[in-house]
C-alpha cells in the first residue's frame, strides 16, 4: 500500500462518521424516550447535544475539504470523500429531527400525552437500527447490505400510517384533541423522515462502491405524506 498516510486519513474520517452516527442514533432514541417520560430537562439536554452534532459535522466537513484539497483524490477515493460530504449532511439533518422531537416535548408543557407511546418508540428503534446498519455498510462498502436496508423503510411507513389513522380517529372523536394529536403526528413524521434519510445513505454507499448513482425506489404509497 503506497499511500499509507492517505489511507490512514480516510480511515480516520470513517471513524469520525461512525462517531457522528452514534451521536445521532442516541439522539433519536433518547428524544422519544424522554418524550415518553415527559422529561423536559432531558429534552433540553437533547437540544444542547444537537449543537455538538452540528459541530462534529462541520469538523468532518473541514477534514474532508482539506483531504480533497491536499490529497487530490481520484476515482473511488473521490467518490468516497464527495459522498461522505453528503452522508454527514444527512446525519446532521437526522439529528435535527431528534431535536425537533425534543422541542415538541418542551412545547407540550404541562399537557399529558394523548395516548401512551407504543408505535412511536418502535419507529424510533427501527429507524436508529437502520441508521446503525447503514453506516456499517458504508464503512465496509457492503453493497448487498446497502441494497437491503432501505426495504425496511416499509415497516416504518406502515407504522407511520397506522399512527396517522389512529390520531385522525382521536381528532374526529374529540376535535379538542387536535393540538395534542398534531404534536404526536409531528413526532411520527420526524421519525418517518429518519428512515427516508437512511435510504439516501445507502444510495451513497452503493455509489461509492460501484460508481452507479441511482435512486432506491419507495415500494409503497404513503398516506399523509406530501
Partner 1 sequence: MNNINAPDIAIETKNLFIFYGSFAAVSEVNIKIEKQKVTAIIGPSGCGKSTLIRAFNRMNDFVPSSYVTGEILLQGQNLYGKNIDPVEVRRKIGMVFQKPNPFPKSIYENISWGAKINGFKGNMDELVEQSLRGAALWDEVKDKLKKSAYELSGGQQQRLCIARTIAIQPEIILMDEPASALDPISTLRIEELMQELKKNYTIIIVTHNMQQAARVSDYTAMMMLEKDGSRSGTVIEFSETKKIFTNPKDKRTEDYVTGRFG
Q: Which residues bind partner 1 (CB under 8 A)?
A: 2-6, 65-66, 69-72
The answer to whether the CB of 162 falls within 8 A of the CB of 225 is no
**Rounded distance between C-alpha atoms, residue 84 and residue 77, angstroms:** 10
Question: Quick one: 70 or 219, whose CB is closer to partner 1?
Answer: 70
Question: Quick one: 65 or 223, whose CB is closer to partner 1?
Answer: 65
What is the closest distance, in whole angstroms, from the C-beta atom of residue 61 to partner 1 in the complex? 11
What is the closest distance, in whole angstroms, from the C-beta atom of residue 3 to partner 1 in the complex? 6
What is the closest distance, in whole angstroms, from the C-beta atom of residue 65 to partner 1 in the complex? 6
**Rounded distance between C-alpha atoms, residue 53 and residue 176, angstroms:** 37
What is the closest distance, in whole angstroms, from the C-beta atom of residue 152 to partner 1 in the complex? 39
**Rounded distance between C-alpha atoms, residue 19 and residue 128, angstroms:** 14
CA angle 192, 24, 81 (to 5 degrees): 100
The answer to whether the CB of 167 falls within 8 A of the CB of 185 is yes
Question: Quick one: 3 or 220, whose CB is closer to partner 1?
Answer: 3
Question: Quick one: 63 or 210, whose CB is closer to partner 1?
Answer: 63
Amino acid at each position: 500500500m503506497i499511500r499509507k498516510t492517505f489511507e490512514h486519513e480516510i480511515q480516520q474520517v470513517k471513524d469520525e462518521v461512525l462517531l457522528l452516527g452514534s451521536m445521532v442514533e442516541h439522539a433519536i432514541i433518547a428524544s422519544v424516550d424522554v418524550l415518553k417520560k415527559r422529561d423536559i430537562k432531558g429534552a433540553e439536554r437533547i437540544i444542547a447535544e444537537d449543537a455538538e452534532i452540528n459541530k462534529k459535522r462541520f469538523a468532518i466537513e473541514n477534514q474532508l475539504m482539506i483531504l480533497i484539497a491536499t490529497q487530490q483524490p481520484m476515482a473511488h477515493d473521490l467518490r468516497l470523500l464527495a459522498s461522505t460530504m453528503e452522508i454527514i449532511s444527512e446525519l446532521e439533518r437526522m439529528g435535527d429531527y431528534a431535536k425537533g422531537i425534543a422541542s415538541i416535548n418542551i412545547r407540550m408543557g404541562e399537557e399529558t400525552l394523548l395516548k401512551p407511546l407504543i408505535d412511536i418508540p418502535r419507529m424510533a428503534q427501527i429507524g436508529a437500527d437502520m441508521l446503525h446498519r447503514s453506516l456499517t455498510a458504508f464503512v465496509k462498502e457492503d453493497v448487498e447490505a446497502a441494497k437491503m436496508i432501505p426495504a425496511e423503510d416499509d415497516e416504518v411507513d406502515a407504522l407511520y400510517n397506522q399512527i396517522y389513522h389512529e390520531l385522525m380517529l382521536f381528532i374526529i372523536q374529540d376535535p379538542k384533541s387536535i393540538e395534542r394529536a398534531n404534536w404526536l403526528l409531528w413526532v411520527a413524521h420526524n421519525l418517518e423522515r429518519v428512515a427516508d434519510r437512511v435510504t439516501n445513505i445507502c444510495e451513497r454507499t452503493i455509489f461509492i462502491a460501484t460508481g452507479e448513482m441511482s435512486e432506491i425506489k419507495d415500494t409503497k404509497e404513503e398516506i399523509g405524506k406530501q
